[in-house]
Amino acid sequence: MAIHFGTDGWRAVISDEFTFANVRKVSQAIADALLVGAAARQSATEPPLCVVGFDTRFLSDRYAMEVARVLAANGIRVLLTKADSPTPMVSYAVVANRAAGGVMITASHNAPRYNGIKLKAAYGGSAPASQCRQVEQLIIENERAGREPKTMDFETAQAQGLITRFNPFPSYRKHLQTLVDFPALQRSGLRVVVDPMYGSGRVYLAQLLREAGVEVTEIRGEMNPGFNGIHPEPIARYLGLLMAEVTARDCDLGLATDGDADRIGAVSPSGRFIDPHHILALALRYLVEVRGWHGTVVKTVSTTQLLNRLAAKYRLPLYETPVGFNYIGELMARDNVLIGGEESGGISIQGHIPEGDGVLMAMLLTEIVAHYGRSLDALVAELQAELGPFVYARRDVRVPHFSKSELVARLTARPPTTLAGLTLARLGTEDGVKYLFADDSWLLIRPSGTEPVLRVYAEAHTPQTVEALLDAGLALAGAGEGQRA
């Protein structure tokens, strides 16, 4: 079976396609790509350095060691984390250590049966599509030529200085102290519940908040490679325990991160889920109005129009990208981006690496609540009163394999002039098909980049209109209700 990199790396079912043999094949191709890059930089005086990290999933630590063995066998120096670590922490270590790239063993928010490999560029964000395609092509070339992956005994590689175990937390902590107002948190007296969802944000976020003087209760922070049977995705469906804990403990805030802690979700004191759309909008308002920051706003096609209205208010340029933080990261790496984010909770800000960071955004959201001295419920209500009410929902339907290009061609051939009583203003095909209506409501139909799932997204001014748009989207796609993912 061919190995393909999707929206953010390669993911597959453990012991099915995600095997040690395939991990070695991918690692060899990554090594080949790093060596080609090193050769192109003729000024390089020593072998390239690669940072390797892993999350809490089944066998992730062992897969990471296997990656390190292959890289070392190819003469590449490896910094391998001592313990499970968040993806953004590993990505920051790439920059802090001036490495040529990084490899993260994780399937992020996917179900426990999956694992995966995220490839990181030297600038600390997801590798661009061109680099992923290069790795895919090198896998094919190696297989055709009958070249087996090189491997090296792990202890021997350590003894020779090719593999070094390290702790990425101290430098990451120091960096976050330049982005978050720790003294403001110390004065706040806030009480917070942290839910890492058994992922690699465990311990780290709670420790950072405690160091900042916040009273913290951590739940689901123990090692559980099966995530206790849940998807480690910080959305309302999986955060019932966090909602209950926040209200039962009478806390000010609930914070959740996904399997590799590059995404954020939040819960207000009333037990209400606060989605990343509102977190993004609150962060943008705070960074402009309180900190006085300026720059470009970047969002994916599936992210709220609240950002469009705020960007227009502040006269900031706004760009819309396909789904996947890698597209946002590419812009952040070359432009003065104030904030970039996506509806799934991957968000980053100016001065940070071009990588979604649930830990950083959890800290910043806590700072925002501390600064205003009002609850998240009140802050969201203020935002809605100022910019207009926006309601968002998404449906995921399992579907057989189909052609994305054929779906787009069919949906754009004869687009409807109205849907759910709304007048169509514009049609977008940046990623799937997006119907934007005259009142800023929208409907997006697109296949997932990591799973056999069709995603239908909608945002409108009432819950009823959102549901009507979702129904219309499924009907347009020919999916009906299908099988909910």
| Burial classification of residue 154, based on how many CB atoms lie within 10 Å of its CB (0-12 exposed, 13-18 middle, 19 or more buried) | middle
Asked if pLDDT for residue 485 goes beyond 70, the answer is no
| pLDDT tens by residue, 64-77 | 999 999 999 999 99
Asked if pLDDT for residue 227 goes beyond 80, the answer is yes
> 195: closest CA among 155, 158, 236?
236
Q: Which residues contact 307 (CB under 8 A, 6 or more apart)?
A: 280, 281, 284, 297, 299, 318
Asked if pLDDT for residue 305 goes beyond 80, the answer is yes
Asked if pLDDT for residue 1 goes beyond 80, the answer is no
Q: How confident is the model at residue 450 (pLDDT cuts 50, 70, 90)?
A: low
Q: How many CB atoms lie within 10 A of CB 376?
A: 24
Asked if pLDDT for residue 2 goes beyond 90, the answer is no
Mean pLDDT of 169-173: 98
Mean pLDDT of 175-179: 97
| pLDDT tens by residue, 87-123 | 999 999 999 999 999 999 999 999 999 999 999 999 9
Structure tokens at 336: 């003065």
Asked if pLDDT for residue 431 goes beyond 60, the answer is yes
Lowest mean pLDDT among 211-225, 295-309, 447-461: 447-461
**What's the chain's length in residues?**
485
Structure tokens at 91: 């990505």
Supply the pLDDT for residue 125: 93
Mean pLDDT of 152-158: 98
| Cα–Cα dist 371/365, whole Å | 10
Asked if pLDDT for residue 43 goes beyond 60, the answer is no
Mean pLDDT of 186-193: 94
> 260: closest CA among 31, 376, 155, 106?
106
Rounded to whole angstroms, what are the CA distances from 145 to 23, 36, 141, 247, 475? 18, 18, 6, 60, 47
Mean pLDDT of 190-212: 97
